Amino acid sequence: MDFGLSEDQLLLEQTLRGFLAEQVPIERVRELREKDCPNDRAIWNALAELGVTGVLVPEARGGAGLRLLDAALVSQSLGHAVTPSPFLASSVMAPVGLASLGGAECDGWLEGIAAGTQVFGVALNELHSVREGAGVSLDGGRLRGKSLMALDAYGADLVLVAVGTDTLAVVRHDAPGVETCRLTTVDATRCTAELVFEGAEAEAVFEGAGGVATRMLEAGRIVLAADTLGACEAMIEQAVAYAKERKQFDRLIGSFQAVKHMCAEMIAELEPARSLLWYAAHAFDAMPDEAPLLSCHALAHLSEIGREIASVSTQVHGGIGWTDEQNLHFWFKRIANARHLLGGPEALRARAAELQGFAKAS
């Protein structure tokens, strides 16, 4: 049995990486970080033409109708190129939710996502990380309250919001009573936001959707882990390339045993994580009962080794690795920020323990 990627998946990865290398080089990322929102619609439209935005949208709604493993490969490529985009929320979490909820409205939104004409943000943070003063309630079809760390919500057209633990609502970003504030984080390539609702009218309300929201979180965690995997690959590649050209004491630093060990150990840490990620992404569609546990393990593990790889690859560069001039910090910060977006390693492992019956649900 072949446990590798299919020819179509390899072609998808090759095509996307070639596109990103040409259209979104690091110089372009530098330009975009100065924008109010780095999620450039021109890049998004080009990705839509490649079929990336609708990777999880059913074919009947104009999408590719692929599986989460394919979306993970896309996310890995985006992380490798440190590309600013709303892919996680708009092309993964929102389609998973909308396709499960169903109905004419959801079908229309899915078509817009696939075409790249509608960008979704998601506000589910309160389902896994409740903070004082946060939480959204619904009164007569109107939203009130606050949601923190809403993914890709700044600059989005619509936002899929968790109301309590068992209801989802869709609201327009420009609806009266909606205030969106971009949160400043270390990662300048993501448009994370705080949403404040003061009687905002929902476009649609879906009650009894707690299971759908959980499924969205599982997909998001796996695909976010893939983004971290791609960023780690890029950092290792840059560290190895630098070790092959930087001289010290008239010798390439890559010839020093200590540097060789640093690079080899990073690769040794990353490869098993790739297998874990692929299995988790495969399980999401093929063995959904295993997805809750595997999604926690995949993101927790990639977050842990990602932090280590980000640190060591920067150390290989020496002092210049910490400077803005060198560019390495873009990947370093992306990995650091991803560590906290859908639950930190400690929280994810605690949830995994609950799922396995090793701890009581909090």
Note whether 289 and 333 are same-domain residues.
yes
| Three-state secondary structure string covering 1-21 | CCCCCCHHHHHHHHHHHHHHH
pLDDT of residue 362: 63
Q: Is 163 helix (H, G, I), strand (E, B) or coil?
A: strand
Within-domain flag for 43: yes
Q: Say if strands 204-207 and 142-150 run parallel, antiparallel, or are unpaired.
A: unpaired
Q: What share of the chain is helix, strand, coil (3-state, %, to 5)?
A: 55, 15, 30
Instruction: Say which residue the tokens 């696939």 belong to.
Output: 114
User: For residue 195, what are the domain limits?
Assistant: 121-208
pLDDT surpasses 70 at 142: yes
Average pLDDT over residues 15-19: 97
CB 335 within 8 A of CB 228: yes
Note whether 111 and 60 are same-domain residues.
yes
Note whether 204 and 271 are same-domain residues.
no
Reported confidence tier of residue 325, pLDDT bands at 50, 70, 90 = confident
Note whether 194 and 216 are same-domain residues.
no
pLDDT surpasses 60 at 322: yes
Residue predicted with more confidence, 319 or 163: 163
Structural tokens at position 276? 């874990």
CB 77 within 8 A of CB 52: no
pLDDT digits (tens, 9 = 90+) for 242-277: 999 988 888 988 889 999 999 999 999 999 999 999
Q: Can you give the CATH number for the domain in which 25 is found?
A: 1.10.540.10
CB 69 within 8 A of CB 286: no
pLDDT of residue 133: 77
Within-domain flag for 201: yes
pLDDT surpasses 70 at 140: yes
Note whether 151 and 172 are same-domain residues.
yes
Q: Can you give the CATH number for the domain in which 178 is found?
A: 2.40.110.10
Which residue in 155, 157, 87 sits closest to 118, CA to CA? 157
Radius of gyration of the chain (CA): 20
DSSP for 139-152? ETTEEEEEEEEEBT
The number of distinct structural domains making up the chain is 3
pLDDT digits (tens, 9 = 90+) for 24-64: 999 999 999 999 999 999 999 999 999 999 999 999 999 99
pLDDT digits (tens, 9 = 90+) for 120-133: 999 999 998 877 77
Note whether 24 and 148 are same-domain residues.
no
Across 38-141, the runs of DSSP E, i.e. the strands, are 120-123, 135-139
Within-domain flag for 360: no
Q: Which of residues 66, 95, 118 is at a domain's end? A: 118
Strand partners, 163: 167
Q: Can you give the CATH number for the domain in which 327 is found?
A: 1.20.140.10
Which residue in 350, 357, 340, 229 sits closest to 297, CA to CA? 350
Note whether 222 and 337 are same-domain residues.
yes
Within-domain flag for 166: yes
Q: Which of residues 208, 225, 244 is at a domain's end? A: 208
Average pLDDT over residues 84-90: 97
* Exposure of 119 in the CB half-sphere (CA atoms within 13 A): 22
Q: Which of residues 86, 118, 150 is at a domain's end? A: 118
Note whether 200 and 216 are same-domain residues.
no
Note whether 26 and 98 are same-domain residues.
yes
Within-domain flag for 29: yes
Note whether 225 and 196 are same-domain residues.
no
